[in-house]
Structure 1
Amino acid sequence: MTVAIIRNIQLYRWSRFLRSLIFWQAVWFLYFQNVLSATEAILLYAVYDVATTLLEVPSGYMSDRLGRKKTLIASAIAGLGGSFLLAIGDSFAVFAAGQVLIGASMAFASGTDEAMLYESLAATGRADEIETQEIIAWRYSFSALALSALTGGALALVDPRLPFVGGALAFGGLFWITMRFVEPPRSSDTSEGSELLHLSSLGASFQSPILLWFFVLGVLMYGFSHLPFVFGQPFILEALNDFDLASSAPLVSGAVTALMMGISVAVSLVALQLRRALGLPQLLLSAFSLQIAISGVMALTDSAIVLAFLLLRMVPNALSRPFILGRIQPLLNDDSRATWLSLNSFAGRLVFATALTFGAISTTDAGTMPYDDIANILRVACFIGLVALIGLAVAARRIAVSPSHKSITP
């Protein structure tokens, strides 16, 4: 059993790699607004976020009750079905159905795969390796995102549906990997009739100032991470118009995204050293500040120079997510760990989907979103982000964001 649990740690990396082969990541907005309109493209992303949001908490509860492996199998199947619908779709309704399934896939995996890793490490007496193992997994993930971004952009030039076909194949591989997982043992009672214990431990988590601080930070960083993801593609198209290269937007967008992920992989190599040098609160707040700065530059100018800032989009994730998970996972109980992580993701997606909906209402119904509309949305977001950053910094001075004693494996 111990050998099988240890194998989970290796399989986790490859599951993250396959889940991150999102071949359409750099071209989906261009594709949707080509077939439909800019407004419907934004709404389709909102559909994805709403679907994920509605399933976040139920999927976390399902994971805590039925097990990590079963929930991850459901995630792979939903992703396969969603990718297929996006590949064959030609209307808002079909695309929306595909987005719902992709959202369900992400919801089923949210919190569950991370809980699978931590519980597998804990079962083999290696819980203190969580930060190191998460950083390794993020390198696998970023590498897959880089590979699929560039490949997806090239595939889109051949046929705009091919990136979604590639996504379906990746989810098929993910299903095979997931079937090889072994359910890790848990210390808490997951039998029927333990719901009160589940709710009690979940409620106790929300009474912790430390966990609440990380909860708020997670919500904010989710939104600011996705602003360049949503608006970067039309922004790239706008910038390329100056060089008469608009027809190459899918390939350029893919190349930009690939470079973005490559830079993040490089940054992850020094993430532990930065964690030690700056301390956890300063590192996390610096990462959030960088997210705000990227959106701020996009709000100030539509020149091609912004492409350089877009390359930094995933750097904050590399400097924050593994350490956030490493800090909060030991503070959560086994019987509510995935539910708490799902609730955090739920809140982030709900806030972002709401903001996107208001953004869609405020923009033109024309096929391509004008830069002025993008800039207005980003200006409002940056103002909110700066106010939140100040609040988090003040709170961090009163809360033990960093653990008293932390062993960090190099």
Structure 2
Amino acid sequence: MVTYSTLGDLEKIERNARLYPWYIAVFNAFFWMPVFFLYFGENLGLARVLQLEGIYYAAVVVLEVPSGYISDRFGRKTTLLGASLMLVVAYLIFFFASSFSAFAAAQVVLAAGIALNSGTDTSFHYDSLTALGREVEYAQREAVAARSAMLATSLSALIGGGVAAIDLRYAYGLSVIAAVAGLITVLSFTEPQSKTAAQAAPFFSQLHDCFRHLRQPRLAWLFGFVVLITILEHIPYEFYQPYLDLLGAQLDFSPKTALIAGVHMAIATLIGALFAHNSARIAGRLGIAKTLLLAALLQLIIISVMGLFLNEVIVALILLREIAGGMTRAPINAAITPYIPQKQRATFLSIQSLAGRVGFSALLVGLSFSTGNIDTHTWSALSHLLLICAGLGARGLGVLAISLWWVDVE
């Protein structure tokens, strides 16, 4: 750990800890999130939309691990600056896009921004607290940061859905403003560890060292859970917009789908924020294994019911879809981050995030082929896709639950 010799240096690092929740909030102000599927679908068919999502996750496959290494090698602040800049560029492209190629380019740039932030944000947080000698506060502060992220997502979804009811692209215009705010916030940060570049190993040696941590059964189990929950979290997120669209056509409120999607996402994320705020306390009472499995089971139930019924009552159940993310994010970070050396931390977390994104990307590609020649804008097609997801998720959850007989993750 670097020793900060002056009060001014410590005050700068203290500012990192103070501003971090604000950075997390503006980074997660995804005004576009409740309507992106509808926005893409204005110009493209469902198969093309699924391919766009596959392109996004494929780009993350390429960029995720190098971005983590960049963070360990060249510093957290530099990497977060790149992440914020990529978001600004991506949202501008989305705003003006009208063709598949333009949307695809925007997806790649967005993937670069998300990848650069992934793992670096929480590593920056932990490094800053360590420099201040306050790493014991990390778990609870991560819970607060997760709450800030979900509250920002909730508010931005509400606003984004409202402006998208006028024009879907307006949601991306607001996202540009939020991304610029994030860029300004990062410029106020101070690198918490000046010797990062000297400590990081060459790229392939770094990868080897990170994968060696998976020899520990506890870290391997947590790694596997992150992969599963990443996939399960993304499924309702990916499909609740077309679900609402089909339900809207059935109940004759389709013209208001964008606004309803925004309100729905805002409420769902607000519920998730409540669980995020209390996630450290929940994990402390139930234990991390029970907390994580319970969250995954809830997500699996939501996906299954979505696939079985097209009904307005299910819309209320889908409001619970953000609970899993709220319950698990901070406990997972607290269970993993302190046990990975600082010089490998962002790389390891990027590998972990990459594995989840690869899994979901493969799922999307498989689903795009499984539609075959059927009409992809029907309830039968959407139900078919969701039930496939539920079946695969149940198998993954079963494997993790059984493995707890010989793996202690507490």
Same topology, TM > 0.5? yes
Q: Could you tell me which residue of structure 1 aligns to residue 217 of structure 2?
A: 209
Q: Which residue of 2 aligns with 1:176?
A: 184
Structure 1 residues 116, 193: closer, same or farther in 2, change over 3 A? closer
Tell me the CA shift for residue 294 of structure 1. 0.8
1:334 counterpart residue number = 342
What residue in structure 1 maps to residue 17 of structure 2?
A: 9
Deviates more, 1:261-270 or 1:217-226: 261-270
Unmatched 5+ residue regions in structure 2? 1-8
1:108-187 alignment, distance < 5 Å: 108-185=116-193
Compared CA separation, residues 188 and 65, structure 1 to 2 (3 A): closer
Encode CA deviations 1:76-100: one digit per residue, 9 max, x unaligned.
1111000000000110001111111
C-alpha deviation, 1:368, in angstroms = 6.0
1:239-290 CA-to-partner distances (Å, cap 9, x unmatched) read 1223210110000000000000111122234323322221111011101111
SS of 2:321 mapped into structure 1: coil
SS in 1 for 2:362: helix
Matched, 1:276 2:252: no
More off after superposition, 38-47 vs 359-368: 359-368
**Is 1:79 matched up with 2:87?**
yes
Which residue in 2 is equivalent to 1:406? none
Paired with 2:234 and 2:161, the residues of 1 have a C-alpha distance of 19
SS at match of 1:313: helix
Give the aligned partner of residue 383 of structure 2.
Answer: 375
Q: How far off its partner does 1:189 sit?
A: 6.7
| Residues 188 and 16 (structure 1), Cα distance of their counterparts in 2 relative to 1, 3 Å cut | closer
Change (3 A) 1:100 1:16: same
Return the match for 2:101 from 69, 93, 96.
Answer: 93
CA contact (8 A) 2:124 2:192 kept: yes
Distance 2:113 2:300 in 1: 28
Give me the TM-score of the superposition, normalised by structure 1. Answer: 0.94
Distance in 2 (CA, whole Å) between partners of 1:292 and 1:342 is 25
2: CA distance, partners of 1:161 / 1:141: 23
CA apart distance, 1:366: 8.5
Partner of 2:43: 35
**Do the aligned residues in 2 keep the contact of 1:186 with 1:334 (CA within 8 Å)?**
no
Give the RMSD, CA atoms, in angstroms: 1.8
Deviates more, 1:215-224 or 1:118-127: 118-127
1:305-350 Cα distance to aligned partner (Å, 9 max, x none):
1111211111011111100000101110111111111111111111
Distance in 1 separating the partners of 2:53 and 2:200: 37
Deviations for 1:208-250, whole angstroms, at most 9, x for unmatched residues? 1111111110011001100011110000111122321011000
Residue type matched to 2:404 in 1?
A
Q: How many residues are aligned here? A: 402
Describe the SS at the equivalent of 1:339.
helix
Question: Which residue does 1:51 correspond to in 2?
Answer: 59
Task: Name whichever structure is richer in helix by fraction.
Answer: 2
2:354 counterpart of 1:353: no
Q: TM-score, normalised by structure 2?
A: 0.94
Note if contact 2:87-2:110 (Cα within 8 Å) is conserved in structure 1. Answer: yes
Tell me the distance in 1 between the aligned counterparts of 2:132 and 2:151: 28
**1:20 deviation in Å?**
0.9
Q: CA deviation at 1:379?
A: 1.6
* Structure 1 residues 297 and 340: CA distance shift in structure 2, 3 A: same
CA contact (8 A) 1:20 1:142 kept: yes
Contact 1:37–1:366 under 8 Å retained in 2 = no
> What's the counterpart of residue 329 of structure 2?
321
Q: Distance in 1 between matches of 2:82 and 2:31?
A: 21
Among the aligned pairs, what percent are the same residue? 31
Deviates more, 1:91-100 or 1:382-391: 382-391
**What are the ranges of 5 or more consecutive residues in structure 1 without an aligned counterpart?**
403-410
2:292–2:328 contact (8 Å) kept in structure 1: yes
Partner of 2:250: 242
